[in-house]
Amino acid sequence: MNDNAEEILNDDLYEHYRFTAAIGQEPLRVDKFLMNFIENATRNKIQQAIKAGNVLVNDQVVKANYKVKPHDVIKIVLAHPPHENLLVAEDIPIDIVYEDDEVIVVNKPAGMVVHPGHGNYSGTLVNGLIYHIENLPKNSNERPGLVHRIDKDTSGLLVVAKTEFSMANLAGQFFDRTTQRLYYALVWGNMEEEEGTIEGNIGRSFKNRLQMDVFPEGDFGKHAVTHYKVIERFNYVTLVQCKLETGRTHQIRAHFKHIGHPLFNDARYGGDRIVKGTTFTKYKQFVENCFKILPRQALHAKTLGFTHPTTQEFLNFNSEIPEDMQLCIEKWRNYTVNQK
C-alpha cells in the first residue's frame, strides 16, 4: 500500500469523549472538569489536547481557562479512532452498482457512515462490506477497501477495492486526479455565473475543529479546486453540478460557503437557516417544509469514473438523485413557477 490513500484519508478527527455538564454544574475550568471525568488522565495530557485544539465545548475550540457551565457539551476529538480494531461484520443491505473480482461500486444512502468511529461502531458501510466480502485489504488507516469516502449525510457513489493491487492502483488514480467525480448540490442564492471555478486551500478550522475553512492565500491547508456549472435556477436557490479536481474533506461544502452560497440545509456550514429570500411568513414556512423533506445537506455524488485496475478499461457510473433531494428540488421548482 503506498501513501496516496493516506493523503486522501488522513483528515478525520474522531470523538473520544463526550460529557454534558449537569444542570447544577458550578463554573469550573475545562481542564479541571475533564480530569474529574476521564479515568487516569493527567492534567498535562488534557492541557496538551486543549492546546492542540482538540477540546471543544458546544462544538467550539476552547482554551484551558474556559469555565464549564450547566448544559455545556464537552468533547475531546483526536486523529485516531478510539477503538481502531473494532470491526464487526454486519448483514447490512448495500446498493451494489457494479462488482467484479477487483472492485465494487456502491450507491451509499444519506445517513450511512462510511467507516466506524466513535459513536458509529455499527451500521456503517464498512461493517456491511466485510460481511459481504471476505478479506478486504486495509489501507494505512486500517479501513478495509477504502480509497476515498463521502460524508455521512451525502448520498452517492463510492468505489471500494477488493484486492491490495486494486487498492494501490485506485489510490494512485485519486492522488493523480485522473478519476472523474460529479456531484449535484442545491446551494443558497442565485449564482451569478453559469459556470466557474472555486479555488482556495482547505484546512481544519482554527475555531471549530469539526469544520473545514478555506484559506485563499494558500498559507495553510491543502490545495483544492472545485469546478461548477449551473443546472437550474430557483430564484433563491440554485442547482449546480460540481466537478472535483481535488478531493479534500468537506471540499464542496466549504468552498460554497466561502463564496457565500452554502449548501441548502447544511447545518455545519450555515445552510440550515434562511440565507437568501424574503421575510414573508409564507416563504419562511415554505423553507421550513423543504428542510423537513430534506433533513440533510443537499449534496449527491452522482457520477464516478475511473480506470479499472486490471483491465485498464475506463468505467463510468451514474446514480439517480435520491428521493428526498429530488422532492426538495421539485418543491422549489413549483414555488418558482408560482411566483411568476
Catalytic residues: 151
CA–CA distances in Å: residue 34 to residues 24, 57, 248, 311:
16, 12, 32, 54
Classify 265 in phi/psi space as left (phi over 0), alpha (psi -120 to 50) or beta: left
Cα 104 from chain centre = 21
Other beta carbons less than 10 A from residue 276's beta carbon: 16
* Burial (Cβ within 10 Å: 0-12, 13-18, ≥19) of residue 266: buried
Dihedral of CA 187/189/190/194: which sign?
A: negative
DSSP-based three-state secondary structure for 244:
strand
* Pair 83, 290: CB distance under 8 Å: no
* Pair 202, 224: CB distance under 8 Å: yes
* Pair 211, 61: CB distance under 8 Å: no
Classify 236 in phi/psi space as left (phi over 0), alpha (psi -120 to 50) or beta: alpha
DSSP-based three-state secondary structure for 213:
strand
Other beta carbons less than 10 A from residue 83's beta carbon: 13
Between CA 154 and CA 185 the distance in angstroms is: 10
